[in-house]
Amino acid sequence: MAWPTWREATQHALYGPDGFYRRERPGDHFRTSVRASPLFARAVESVARECVVSTVVDLGAGGGELLRELHRRAPELELIGVDLASRPDQLPGPIGWTDRLSDGLVDVLVIANEWLDDLPVDVVEIDETGMPCLVHVEPETGAERLGNPPGPDDLSWLARWWPLDEAEPGARAEIGRERDSAWADAVRRVRRGVLVAIDYWHRRGDRPPAGTLAAYRAGRMVPPVPDGSCDITAHVALDSCASAGDEAGATATLLTTQRQALRALGVDASLPPRTLALDDSQAYLAALSQTTQAIELLDPAGLGAFGWLVQTVNRPLPDVLARLDRSTDRGVVRRTR
């Protein structure tokens, strides 16, 4: 039996008729910023209010956790979840649910939190002759073997975004061209609004030489086997997605870390004053819990290291994010047409 490429195998394993994401909710298998703290939803609400939008779309909504918290905080917003999975039973009635992003969206904030990393990618490996070859996989076991070189479009993407000219045999890369196309399609569907992609990421100057292909099941990292039993994921070349969004018509672009973005949006990990413990012990404990949650969201070695790609269509960047300056925190990239 022919062995598929990783992209083909992952597509079937995650999104086939009985695929992982047809049956499972992401929150049951790995921890996200949404589940770490309601402070994340508060930050999303802050972006929505800063942009004065009437609609928030959660692209790759999973179990609808972000939408539920936003509905609790801002019931006046129109909220729409986009996901291939069925509508969660516990989702409040006013929240919409669909399996695809609509066209012609106006006054909208589109949030894609850990969506791009679950779009399948092809993996290439440098063989003993120095040639990049597609990696094929046996879906039942995860065993691998090398095949032919990728096609010209993928080779062109690699040359621009993940060059392998000087890579040693065994070095790997993940081809992000399909993710670029998916993000560009989302940008084109917005007539006026803001899109935010939040994900594990890397940039051209720090691509990991061994790649990032990984799998999760029930909260644990497991060997990646595309048999439908686990989530298969890989980090996102957000700089490449940003360029694709620019070409699709984005007006302004910001690329930064979650740590910087959330701090700009008011997420504060400062300890509450000790005097509060004497005046109101319950308020002190509540504030301390919020600090703990903020520390997790801002952790530069954890969720705080996630990338935030913010792109606008026919409007400027939100002021609160546009004010971000360059820093040592992997920097900030801003572009405006």
pLDDT digits (tens, 9 = 90+) for 311-328: 999 999 999 998 885 554
* Structure confidence by residue, pLDDT tens digits, 114-157: 999 999 999 999 999 999 999 999 999 999 999 999 999 999 99
Beta strand pairing call for 78-82 and 122-126: unpaired
For residue 274, the model assigns a pLDDT of: 77
* Edge-to-edge order in the sheet of strand 190-199: 96-98, 78-82, 55-59, 105-113, 190-199, 307-313, 252-257, 333-336
Whole-angstrom distance, CA of residue 265 vs CA of residue 297: 12
Kindly state the average pLDDT of the residues 71-93: 95
Position 45 scores a pLDDT of: 97
Alpha helices in 121-270 (DSSP H): 152-161, 177-188, 238-247, 258-264
Beta-bridge mates of residue 7: none
Picking from 73, 59, 132, the residue whose alpha carbon sits closest to that of residue 102 is: 59
Dist CA 165 CA 51 (whole Å): 43
* Residue 189 CA neighbour count, 13 Å, CB half: 16
Quick one: how far is CA 114 from the chain centroid? 3
Instruction: Report how far apart, in Å, the C-alpha atoms of 286 and of each of 35, 37, 38, 274 are.
Output: 17, 13, 13, 13
**The total number of residues written for the chain in this structure:** 337
Interatomic CA distance for residues 328 and 35, integer angstroms: 28
Residue 29 has pLDDT above 70, yes or no: no
Mean pLDDT value of segment 57-61:
96
Q: Are 54 and 192 in contact (CB under 8 A)?
A: no
16: three-class secondary structure by DSSP: coil
Query: For residue 4, what are the CA distances in angstroms to 124, 211, 222, 231?
Result: 13, 19, 20, 17
- The pLDDT value recorded for residue 27 is 64
At 283 the three-state DSSP class reads: helix
